[in-house]
Amino acid sequence: MSDRPIRSVEVTGDYRVGVYGVFRPKEFPGGSNLHQVTTTEIYYMLSGYATLVTGGTMTDARQENENWVRGTAIENGVSRRVVPGDVIIIPGHTPHWFSELETDLTYLIFRPDPDNRIPLVD
C-alpha cells in the first residue's frame, strides 16, 4: 500500500493542505485507523470498488504513536460501498476501515492541516 505525498502547501502562515496519492492492492485491505488529530481527511476515489466502514468501535485497538491508533476491524460502524467518483469526508477522531476490497483501489487524500503537522512538499 502507498500513501505518498504529491504536494503540500502553506495556505496561510498557520494553515497547510496536503494532497496524497494512495494505491491499495486488493490483497492488502489493512486494518482500522483512528487519527487523534483535528485533521479531516477527504478521499476522492479514482478507481476500484470497496466497502468503507466509519464510526463505531475499533477492535484490538493499539496506540501506534501519539496521533494514531490502529486496530483489526470496526464494530457497529456505518458501512458504505465506495466507487470511482465518490468523495468521502472523514473527520479527525473518526475510526475508518476498508472492510472489503472488491478490486485494487486508487484514490487521492486531501488533508487540511490547521496544526501545521504536514511537512511542505513541492
pLDDT in tens, 101-115: 999 999 999 998 887
Q: Can you read off the three cell numbers belonging to residue 64?
A: 501506534
Say if residues 47 and 113 touch (Cβ distance below 8 Å).
no
pLDDT of 78: 98
Q: How confident is the model at residue 75 (pLDDT cuts 50, 70, 90)?
A: very high
Percent of the chain with pLDDT over 90: 61
List the helix and strand counts (H, then E) for the chain.
0, 13
End-to-end CA distance of the chain: 22
Q: Examine the pLDDT at 37 and tell me if it is beyond 90.
A: no
Look at residue 1 in the predicted model and tell me its pLDDT.
59
Nearest to 90 by CA among 78, 102, 100: 78
At 20, which amino acid appears?
Answer: Y
Tell me if the domain spanning 2-12+21-113 has CATH number 2.60.120.370.
yes
Residue 11 has pLDDT above 90, yes or no: no
**β-pair type (50-54, 57-59):** unpaired
Q: Is a pLDDT exceeding 70 seen at residue 10?
A: yes
Band the pLDDT of 95: cuts 50, 70, 90: very high
Best-predicted range by mean pLDDT (4-8, 34-38, 97-101, 118-122): 97-101
Which has the higher per-residue pLDDT, 13 or 79? Answer: 79
Residue that is written with C-alpha cell 491508533 in the block: 69
Alpha-carbon distance 8 to 110, whole Å? Answer: 9
What is the enclosing helix (H) or strand (E) of 111? strand 105-113
Nearest to 105 by CA among 30, 66, 49: 49
Count, residues in the chain: 122
